[in-house]
Amino acid sequence: MENKEFVFIISHSYDKIEKAAAALQLATNMAAFDAKIDFFLMNEGVHLARKGFAESVTWQKAFSPVAELMKSLREDFEFKFYVCASCVKPYGLEGIDLIEGAEIKPGSFLGEMLMQRQGLTF
């Protein structure tokens, strides 16, 4: 496999937690094959970057728990979670604590990543 660099675009959290969990589970599985993966969170997906949000998810039905997946992706594989700058204010993230490894970036940053990597949207 030639290109092993991906950006996962996650646009769901509490509204469709299974989609977010599926993305995180797939990324964890791909990490075993040395894939380079970063995440770009937008729309409801930005809530995954809220400190404590993933630990509060109790309604998830499938896959490993979101909190465990995110912790492993950040700590074991050092994957980054980028938060859409345009979503910060509308989704109430101004001035709140974000998870370790989360960084606010503009949409142009996502565009730049997509010019160099394969994109997967959840």
Cα angle for residues 22, 24, 29 (degrees, 5° grid): 95
Query: In terms of residue numbers, what domain contains 54?
Result: 5-121
Q: How confident is the model at residue 60 (pLDDT cuts 50, 70, 90)?
A: confident
Number of domains in the chain: 1
How many helices (H) and strands (E) would you count in the chain? 5, 5
Q: Edge-to-edge, what's the strand order for the sheet holding 5-10?
A: 102-105, 81-84, 36-41, 5-10, 118-121
Total-model pTM: 0.94
pLDDT bucket at 70, cuts 50 / 70 / 90? very high
Res. 94 pLDDT band, cuts 50 70 90: very high
CATH number at residue 67: 3.40.1260.10
Mean pLDDT of 60-66: 91
Query: Rounded to an integer, what distance in angstroms lies between the CA atom of residue 11 and that of residue 81?
Result: 12
How many beta carbons lie within 10 A of that of residue 118, not counting itself?
Answer: 13
